[in-house]
Structure 1
């Protein structure tokens, strides 16, 4: 393999949903033995939070669920069109991000890389239900719900990465 498989998770400001998914997916890929073959990062569709660390409630919910957040150096950044050629899978947190990312994609092949994160959760019955509400506007319960949604999709993303890596040869 000439380069690692690259995943970018995208939400609005890159301080709640997408960094939470980035960390969970990174740990899940490591646990599946794929951590040396896959790279996970995250970004936002806006520059509203650029340079900021994750929302403290994101860090708290990850810590409560046993994730290693000590020393986590995440800083919010904005998704760039130029990243598409080197990215294998782009995971949108909600339908608005999905539409924005598909418009941003420079080629039809790049458009095909964009998926809803929750499309990988077998418990989500329909496309209409794949969006994740932004927990920033709510309380701790919203962050717990977001964590459950990320957790529900993570194994499906790992399965997709495993299959894509196998097809590379």
Structure 2
């Protein structure tokens, strides 16, 4: 399920969306916390980025930050950055099909984030994390629910598939 090679002394996971202000930073904050809670913080590094450059240096969208904060997460440290295919990472998880195309398509180390979601149904088009940017607050809450569930599945996979993490 997860690629096995490590790019450095830590297993590196990059989360990618369009502007790096909504979906991928939400996933970044949640996954990083779940990894720390599992005792893997020194072994797994999480980063996030966007395929576009127009938000580089900006904090996450205020609605995404408010949704995370209301759920007890710290959304204050994020600053948007642009995806760089040359960075050494072990696993790239994109939020939708457009992001997948933007990073060059599916490979052994590039997948969609919800490929790891136990409730996603790729056969029915349900493998995207929907972009909440142009919608209301409920879209950000829906994204957080998907992200929390998928982050838990990712941590389970790390614990069970990567013996060097134990």
Report TM bin, short chain: 0.7 to 0.9
Would you say how many aligned residue pairs link Structure 1 and Structure 2?
159
Q: Give the conservation status (yes or no) of the 8 Å contact 2:43–2:165.
A: no
Instruction: Give 5+ residue unaligned stretches, structure 2.
Output: 1-5
Extract structure 1 runs of 4+ deviating beyond 4 A. none
Counterparts of 1:41 and 1:94, CA distance in 2: 17
With structure 1 as the length reference, what TM-score do the two structures score? 0.86
Please give the per-residue CA displacement for 1:87-132, whole angstroms capped at 9, x wherever unaligned.
Answer: 01111001111122235x9xxxxx2111111111111122521111
Please give the per-residue CA displacement for 1:62-89, whole angstroms capped at 9, x wherever unaligned.
Answer: 01111133xx321111101211xx2011
Q: 2:39 aligned with 1:42, yes or no?
A: no
Q: 2:11 aligned with 1:9, yes or no?
A: no
Q: 2:87 aligned with 1:126, yes or no?
A: no
The corresponding residue for 1:92 is 94
The corresponding residue for 2:134 is 137
Aligned match of 1:58 in 23, 43, 64? 64
Counterparts of 2:15 and 2:74, CA distance in 1: 19
Structure (1/2) with the larger helix percentage: 1
SS at match of 1:47: coil
Root mean square deviation of aligned Cα: 1.9
Counterparts of 1:134 and 1:126, CA distance in 2: 17
Counterparts of 1:64 and 1:120, CA distance in 2: 25
The corresponding residue for 1:108 is none
Instruction: Give 5+ residue unaligned stretches, structure 1.
Output: 106-110
